Structure 1
C-alpha cells in the first residue's frame, strides 16, 4: 500500500518547518530560492503532489474551501448565517467559496477531499467540530486554516470563537442581580468545548457571588431531547428558581417541561439561554438569551484567513468575540 506523503514528512526530512515547505511549494515569498529548490527537489523525489508556483495575494483570484460535518451543515439557523457572511466577504476579496461536507466515514478514516490533497485551494475554513484527528490531518496539508466555533490545544490553527466563559458569566450574573441564588445548569459538555466553557462561566459567576455550587441542579451531560429534560426536571426534589441553558434548544425544552409541570415562566422560574436563535423567539414567553453576532463570525474568519496566508510563521491565535445579553420576558426577580 502506497504511503501518503505530507508536507510534514518533507519538513522532517529537511529539518525545517512545515510552514516553510508550504511557502515554497505554493510559490509564496518567505523562503530563499536555494531553500525553495531544495524543498521542491525533495517533494518530487518523495512523490508529493502539489500545484506548482501558486502564489496567494488578496488581489489574485482563487478558492477557499469550507469544511464541516453533515451535522453542522444541518444547523442552518446558526451556521447558515455564518456561511453567507463568509461567502460575501470572500467575494469582496476575489475568492470563490467551495463547500465540502465531511461524513462520518471520511472523518473516522481521515479521508481528505481531493480538493485538499491536490493543493488546489488557497485557504480552509472549518465550521464547528468534525473530529480533532481529522482537523489535525487537514492542518497537516500545510494549507492555511482557520477554525470557526471550535478549538483544541493540539490543533495548530487559528480559531474564531465566542467568548463563552465571559458570556455565560454575564448570563448567570443577570440572574444573580435579579436576586436568584438557586440556579440550575443544563447542557451537554462533551458535545463541544464551547459548552464546557459555558459551564465554567456559570460556576465562576456563582463563586464570585458567594453562592454554593449545587451539583443536584447541574445536568452537564444532558440529552437535547424533550423526554430526557422532562425526566430530569420531574425527578428533582427541589426546583431551582432559575435555569441557565447552554443553548436555545435546551431553553426551549426547559420552558416546555416547566409549563407541563404547572410552573409559570417567569413568575415561578426564570430562564436564560444562549445563541439568540429562532427557538428563543418562539417560546412563550420569549427567552432572555446571549446574542452571538453570526455575521461578524464569518467576516472575522475570512479576515483572519487572509492574514494567516500572508503571515504563515506568526504564532497561532484564538480570537474571542463578545456576546450581548438580550433581555426578554423569561426572567424576573424570584418570588419572595
Structure 2
C-alpha cells in the first residue's frame, strides 16, 4: 500500500497540515529543518502528494505546460531547468513538441487548455513563427491562464528573455576575434525579432566601434538559430571575404563546421569561429568550439519561477541580477 500524508506526518512527528504546507511550498513558519525532515521522510517512504485531489479544493492543478521543439539542444537544457525548479515548487511539467514546419502550432495549446493546467511556458525557438506565437498567447490570455515568453516580447504576456547580459556576451565574442587580429568579422544571427539576437548584435557593434572598425551590415547574415543557418550563411560570408564568424548560437556554429568541408577549408586555419551558449557538445568536437558560456539550465529555472509567481501571486517574480556571460576560449579561433 502506498504511503499517505498521515503516514509521513506520523513518522516525521509533525501534523498533516505541516506536511501539506511543505509540499505546496506555501508561505508559513515551518522551519528549514522541519521542511528538510519532512522531505527526507517522504523520500524514504516513496510518498508523492496527490495534486489531483488537492486541485479539487484549491482549483489549481499544479501542472505547468511547456511547448517545445524537441530537436533543439538549447531548449532541451532550458526545459531541464524548468522541470527541476517546478519540482522544487511542487509542480509537474507536461510537455508537447512543436514542429518547426507546422503551420498550426497553436493547436497544441488545446491539449493544455483542456487539461486544466495552471500556466504555459514557450521556451526559445519553440514556435515556428512570431505570428503564431502572438496568436497563441492571445488564446492563452483569453483563457485566463498565465504564460511566459522566452526571447520575445508579446503584448499581454510576461517575458523572461533578458536574464543574461547578451550585449556583454556579444561584445566578448567579437572582442576576442578583434584581439586575435581579425578585422573582417562576419555574423550569422538569430531571428531579428528575438531579444537575444538584438542584444548580441548590439554587443558586436559595440566591440567594432570601440576598435575603430566600421560596421558593415552586409557582413550580417540573418539566420534562425538552426544548424541550417550555419550551412547557408557560410558561403555568403566567405564570398564577402571574412576571416572569422561570430555565430549567435552553437547550433549555427555546428552548421559552419559541417559546411566548411565542402570548400576544402578548415577551422581555425582558414576561418575562426566563435559560438554562443556553450551547449554540452561544444567542447567535445574534433576542434573544440570557442564560445560564450551562459547558464542555460538556470534560464529554465528562472522561467519556471516567473510563471509560478504569476500563478500564485498574480505578478512576476522580483527582478534578479542578470547573469554575466563568460568567454570559453578553445581551439576554433587563432591569431592572424
Establish whether TM, by shorter chain, passes 0.5: yes
Residue 66 (structure 2) aligns with = 67
Given that residues 198 and 246 in structure 1 are in contact (C-alpha distance below 8 angstroms), is that contact kept between their aligned partners in structure 2? yes
What is the CA–CA distance in structure 2 between the aligned matches of 1:150 and 1:329, rounded to whole Å? 29
What is the CA–CA distance in structure 2 between the aligned matches of 1:90 and 1:141, rounded to whole Å? 22
What is the CA–CA distance in structure 1 between the aligned matches of 2:145 and 2:279, rounded to whole Å? 33
Q: Tell me the alpha carbon deviations over residues 61-115 of structure 1, each in whole angstroms, 9 at most, x when there is no partner.
A: x42222315xx2221x22222222322222222222222345635436x673254
* Closer, same or farther: CA 111–98 of 1 in aligned 2, 3 Å: closer
Residue 290 (structure 1) aligns with = 292
Residue 323 (structure 1) aligns with = 325
Given that residues 294 and 326 in structure 2 are in contact (C-alpha distance below 8 angstroms), is that contact kept between their aligned partners in structure 1? yes
User: Bigger CA drift: 313-322 or 256-265?
Assistant: 313-322
> 1:167-246, aligned counterparts within 5 Å?
167-190=169-192, 192-221=194-223, 224-225=227-228, 228-229=232-233, 231-236=235-240, 239-246=241-248
How many angstroms does 1:227 deviate by?
5.6
Residue 311 (structure 1) aligns with = 313
Given that residues 252 and 283 in structure 1 are in contact (C-alpha distance below 8 angstroms), is that contact kept between their aligned partners in structure 2? no
How many angstroms does 1:117 deviate by?
5.0
Given that residues 309 and 316 in structure 2 are in contact (C-alpha distance below 8 angstroms), is that contact kept between their aligned partners in structure 1? no
What is the CA–CA distance in structure 1 between the aligned matches of 2:193 and 2:249, rounded to whole Å? 12
Residue 112 (structure 1) aligns with = 109
Which of 73, 79, 86 does residue 83 from structure 1 map onto? 79
How many angstroms does 1:244 deviate by?
0.5
* Closer, same or farther: CA 215–97 of 1 in aligned 2, 3 Å: closer
Aligned-residue RMSD, C-alpha: 3.2
Which of 275, 278, 283 does residue 277 from structure 2 map onto? 275
Residue 54 (structure 1) aligns with = 58
Q: Tell me the alpha carbon deviations over residues 296-335 of structure 1, each in whole angstroms, 9 at most, x when there is no partner.
A: 122222222232234325699798543221110112322x
What is the CA–CA distance in structure 1 between the aligned matches of 2:182 and 2:147, rounded to whole Å? 43
In the alignment, structure 1 segments of 5+ residues that lack a partner are 1-50, 57-61
Given that residues 66 and 127 in structure 1 are in contact (C-alpha distance below 8 angstroms), is that contact kept between their aligned partners in structure 2? no
Q: Tell me the alpha carbon deviations over residues 267-294 of structure 1, each in whole angstroms, 9 at most, x when there is no partner.
A: 4432101121255335442110112312
TM-score (norm 2): 0.68
Aligned pair count? Answer: 271
What is the CA–CA distance in structure 2 between the aligned matches of 1:65 and 1:315, rounded to whole Å? 16
Secondary structure of 1:174's partner?
A: helix
How many angstroms does 1:245 deviate by?
0.7
Given that residues 62 and 117 in structure 2 are in contact (C-alpha distance below 8 angstroms), is that contact kept between their aligned partners in structure 1? yes
TM-score (norm 1): 0.68
Secondary structure of 1:189's partner?
A: coil
> 1:98-109, aligned counterparts within 5 Å?
98-102=94-98, 104=102, 106-107=104-105
In the alignment, structure 2 segments of 5+ residues that lack a partner are 1-54, 128-132
* Closer, same or farther: CA 288–155 of 1 in aligned 2, 3 Å: farther
Secondary structure of 1:194's partner?
A: helix
Secondary structure of 1:219's partner?
A: strand
What is the CA–CA distance in structure 2 between the aligned matches of 1:274 and 1:136, rounded to whole Å? 31
